Amino acid sequence: MRRLGLTIAKLKTMRSRQRYLSSRLQGFGTTIFATMSQLAIETNSVNLGQGFPDYDGPELIAEAAIAAIRSGLNQYPPGPGIEPLRRAVALHNQEHYGVIYDPTTEVLITAGATEALASTLISLLEVGDEVVVFEPCYDSYVASIAMAGARAVPIRLNGPNWDFDFEKLRSSIGPRTRAILVNTPHNPTGKVFDFEELSEIARLAIENDLLVITDEVYEHLVFEGTHHYLASFDGMRERTISISSAAKTFSFTGWKIGWVVAQPELIAAIRTSKQFLTYVNGAPFQHAIAKGLEPELDLTREAKLALGPSRDLLIGALDQLELNPMPTAGTYFVNCDISSVTKEDALTFCMRMANEAGVVAIPSSVFYLDREGSEHYVRFAFCKRTSVIDEAVSRLESWLD
Ligand code: PMP
Ligand code: GLN
């Protein structure tokens, strides 16, 4: 129990001042994913926290990476990424969303979506600019916006359906607003933005001459509804920076191959910071992902097919355990509203669950700029083998009994 108290105290002070850290990054501490995965190791817990599959992606893609390493494709690739991968990304977006991009000037390969987001924000924002984000939001957004010297302006997604107030979105746009950042399918809620919501975002962006940055890393993990590609909306191609990655689509989260797609002037600007962040990354993995994206292999559907049984199993079990799983249309995640089970905040609940039940989840409150009203959401990841989900469920059953 002493360790539990200490870890809670540590997590609660995650936002506290660090001596050597630049003022721009004060309060960001250690990510919740690193913290909770470490806790899972320390407590020997089933880790339903950090979103990574506990199995490999398609064998054919793994073999392509091995073949690339063996054939000596191990030196720096070209700055914008290898040509076959840029071509494969452009073709993918044409086939799936009907938008045509020039692989030479309109596609940039990055070290995962994380670097794509960071280099986009660092390259395009002026100090003091504002970026509208939908909260809860993925942790790297606010940190990268801060690194750019800009400010995140949150628009709240309201549970249980995670809808938002159009009027609030409209009134959040001011003279310093430079961009709206849209993550669909959305982490941590599992929301898939619908056509009407995206049309409204597009309308506002055009009216106010804003850029729109989309994070679509879960584009192929939609279980209910449809993923709409914002760049394909009327008037949006020239102002949308579409970001995605191979991590979730191919279940190789550790390879860190991502991409940015946008019109040439935007790509040129984004490349300017990207070249000084990593310059390039993952040469043999770039070749393997280019292979994986070949349309005739049809591998972009595999991850969703693999996830289905684990998703059904976990959501059904959380419901039976009366942990109140909320609607989730896409991604790796389901959130529970724990308010009818406990008066504890999500962080305390998650710490106790790790220590007493041996199951790790993520307190979704950490994804809010203002935590007020968010303290009862807990995110569980279902991107794990069914045997692992079974084990977590049986531990939770005994714990809650
Ligand atoms: N955006 C979201 C919404 C995510 O959940 C993640 C985590 N994979 C990322 C970006 C980062 O993706 P990558 O691993 O490709 O850097
Ligand atoms: N995207 C993963 C999640 O949301 C975590 C990736 C990371 O640890 N940066 O769980």
pLDDT for the residue numbered 11: 62
- Please check whether residue 245 is in contact with residue 116, taking contact to mean a CB–CB distance below 8 angstroms: yes
Mean pLDDT calculated for residue range 177-203: 98
For residue 361, give the ligand nearest its CA.
2
Taking the C-alpha atoms of residue 388 and residue 223, their distance in angstroms, rounded to an integer, is 21
Report whether residue 33 contacts ligand 2, using a CB cutoff of 6 Å.
yes
Mean pLDDT calculated for residue range 189-216: 98
The per-residue pLDDT of the chain, averaged, comes to 95
pLDDT for the residue numbered 15: 62
**Where residue 401 falls among pLDDT bands split at 50, 70, 90?**
confident
Taking the C-alpha atoms of residue 212 and residue 178, their distance in angstroms, rounded to an integer, is 9
Atom of ligand 1 nearest to the CA of 332: 5
**pLDDT for residue 304 is more than 90:** yes
**pLDDT for residue 67 is more than 60:** yes
**pLDDT for residue 1 is more than 60:** no
Taking the C-alpha atoms of residue 103 and residue 146, their distance in angstroms, rounded to an integer, is 31
Maximum average pLDDT range among 23-27, 187-191, 370-374: 187-191
In degrees, rounded to 5, the angle at the alpha carbon of residue 35 between the alpha carbons of residues 23 and 400 is 135
Nearest CA to ligand 2 atom 8: 33
How many whole angstroms from 398 Cα to the centroid of ligand 1? 33
Taking the C-alpha atoms of residue 123 and residue 371, their distance in angstroms, rounded to an integer, is 29
How many whole angstroms from 339 Cα to the centroid of ligand 2? 25
Nearest CA to ligand 1 atom 12: 113
Atom of ligand 2 nearest to the CA of 37: 8
For residue 35, give the ligand nearest its CA.
2
Q: Is 239 exposed, middle or buried (0-12, 13-18, 19+ CB in 10 A)?
A: buried
**pLDDT for residue 79 is more than 60:** yes
pLDDT in tens, 380-395: 999 999 999 999 999 9
How many whole angstroms from 162 Cα to the centroid of ligand 2? 20
For residue 245, give the ligand nearest its CA.
1
pLDDT for the residue numbered 7: 63
In degrees, rounded to 5, the angle at the alpha carbon of residue 144 between the alpha carbons of residues 89 and 201 is 65
Report whether residue 51 contacts ligand 2, using a CB cutoff of 6 Å.
yes
**Top-confidence residue, 28 or 290:** 290
For residue 281, give the ligand nearest its CA.
1
The whole model's pTM is what?
Answer: 0.96
CA 33 from centre of chain: 12
pLDDT for the residue numbered 373: 86
Nearest to 356 by CA among 1, 41, 32, 35: 1
> What domains lie within the chain, and their CATH numbers?
2-51+301-400 (3.90.1150.10), 59-297 (3.40.640.10)
Taking the C-alpha atoms of residue 214 and residue 272, their distance in angstroms, rounded to an integer, is 20
pLDDT in tens, 141-154: 999 999 999 999 99
How many whole angstroms from 326 Cα to the centroid of ligand 2? 20
**Where residue 3 falls among pLDDT bands split at 50, 70, 90?**
low
pLDDT in tens, 335-381: 999 998 999 999 999 999 999 999 999 999 999 998 888 899 999 99
Mean pLDDT calculated for residue range 183-201: 98
pLDDT in tens, 221-280: 999 999 999 999 999 999 999 999 999 999 999 999 999 999 999 999 999 999 999 999
How many whole angstroms from 341 Cα to the centroid of ligand 1? 31
How many whole angstroms from 265 Cα to the centroid of ligand 1? 25
pLDDT for the residue numbered 371: 85
Taking the C-alpha atoms of residue 363 and residue 350, their distance in angstroms, rounded to an integer, is 6
For residue 52, give the ligand nearest its CA.
2
Atom of ligand 2 nearest to the CA of 381: 10
**pLDDT for residue 13 is more than 80:** no
pLDDT for the residue numbered 10: 60
Amino acid at 350: C
How many whole angstroms from 300 Cα to the centroid of ligand 2? 20
How many whole angstroms from 142 Cα to the centroid of ligand 1? 14
Report whether residue 286 contacts ligand 2, using a CB cutoff of 6 Å.
no
